[in-house]
């Protein structure tokens, strides 16, 4: 059985049927996402490497519809959920970062995208360079865009053995410019 996320589809045909996709994929199905996660995981202790993270589920619930009554611009609306294996930038330990991404895209050709195809309805525009699209590409882009620049545990207490050291280190802060005004006044004299 073929994976509908990986097939090239015509958005207009899916919108005509008001197609609903409720699929499960795996993180490993998305090559660019795998590259990003691998690069992040290299920063952590390799002896505590996560196993089988590529098989973690990606839940996809998308619906195709038309933006306009003339049926000229298809839209995809829905949610993508995944537990991303990332490295906490505070304690450098692996953890699962929950992602829940809302998708609301007008699928437009280059000429439609330039004319602001989704502006009046508040949707983002996904510019198509051909008539077909892989749904996996939409899902992957949504997940990548939702990744945090610096992933961290939700709470410092979740940072494991380093949590106490982090809290203790915050009490002693170095403020290099705290006495700058006084230093500048002394330099003028």
Question: CB under 8 Å to 130, separation ≥6 — which residues?
Answer: none
Continuous H helices in the chain: 11-16, 31-41, 110-114, 135-146, 163-171, 180-188
Distances 22 to 43, 58, 82, 88, 92 between C-alpha atoms, Å: 34, 11, 14, 31, 35
Asked if 86 contacts 95 with a C-beta cutoff of 8 angstroms, the reply is yes
- Residue pLDDT, tens place only, 74-114: 999 999 999 999 998 888 888 899 999 999 999 987 555 45
Range in 38-47, 89-98, 112-121, 144-153 with the lowest mean pLDDT: 112-121
């Amino acid at each position: 059985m073929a994976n509908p996320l990986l097939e090239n589809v015509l958005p207009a045909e899916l919108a005509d049927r008001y197609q609903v996709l409720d699929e499960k994929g795996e993180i490993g199905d998305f090559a660019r996402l795998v590259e990003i996660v691998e690069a992040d995981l290299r920063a952590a202790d390799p002896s505590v490497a996560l196993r089988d993270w590529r098989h973690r589920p990606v839940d996809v619930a998308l619906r195709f519809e038309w933006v306009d009554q003339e049926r000229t611009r298809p839209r995809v609306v829905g949610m993508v959920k995944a537990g991303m294996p990332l490295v906490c930038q505070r304690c450098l330990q692996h953890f699962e970062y929950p992602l829940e991404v809302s998708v609301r895209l007008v699928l437009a050709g280059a000429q439609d995208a330039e004319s602001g195809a989704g502006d009046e309805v508040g949707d983002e525009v996904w510019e198509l360079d051909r008539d077909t699209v892989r749904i996996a590409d939409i899902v992957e882009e949504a997940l990548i865009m939702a990744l945090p620049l610096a992933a961290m545990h939700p709470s410092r207490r979740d940072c494991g053995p380093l949590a106490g050291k982090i809290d203790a280190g915050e009490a002693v802060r170095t403020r290099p410019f705290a006495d700058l005004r006084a230093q500048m006044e002394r330099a003028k004299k």
